[in-house]
Structure 1
């Protein structure tokens, strides 16, 4: 509603973007301290975040609240002017090429995106983007023998 990316919210409340993705997906529980930070970021009370009856403030109010929070915490605010990069565009361009004919790690994909498009994407953001539709339907996720590192490869058609 307020056009804030997971990455920018994460940056503002001093966590990593995958934490925000896991919260949104309902995969992890949130502590009261982080709930209060997120609520402060959007200018609402922490208990409103769990209230399905609470009406979300209008977009302009949310943006004003975010700007107040950013100023009070002295967090970088360039993204409030829609200057945040479009990482999915870089990933889509990689998916259309031949780079992923061979299995690649998220770090290798991020390095290639940064080399070709100067996108500034992180390997965790690559993993997040490739885990969502429609991109997850285009790649096969392979695990190494030890199962620690995922590798991505275009699905064979």
Structure 2
């Protein structure tokens, strides 16, 4: 079964670029990686160290879709794609069509709607976004706490502005 390595140093377990390269070169079912570090130097090194094999690196930071693609990432694994699918896909499609300025502008327009989610915890922020968009995914489960109404109002405002 194909497997992606997941680098998420925010939880205290970052993977070195050397370890990622070693795993990618020696474990045949490891086919790529989601990098949620937000560190473009790190991502660029993973891309450089694995360019000689069939390995697909993805950004894991929704605010770095465009820059990740510029660095050589295959795409992005985005929590916001659960609700803001059209907007996430638009950045990717514009880039793949060679419309780089438009892709960058789409990313810049998108970022405020994603950055406000940093004021909530995850996965609560993703549930909040989906609920605001009418997807009715329910309340967070404990120990996660619901977001304050003021934050929900700001999230709704930013998503509305994104879709204008």
- TM-score of the aligned structures, taking structure 2 as reference length: 0.24
Which has the greater radius of gyration? 1
Higher RCO (CA-CA < 8 Å; seq separation 6+): 1
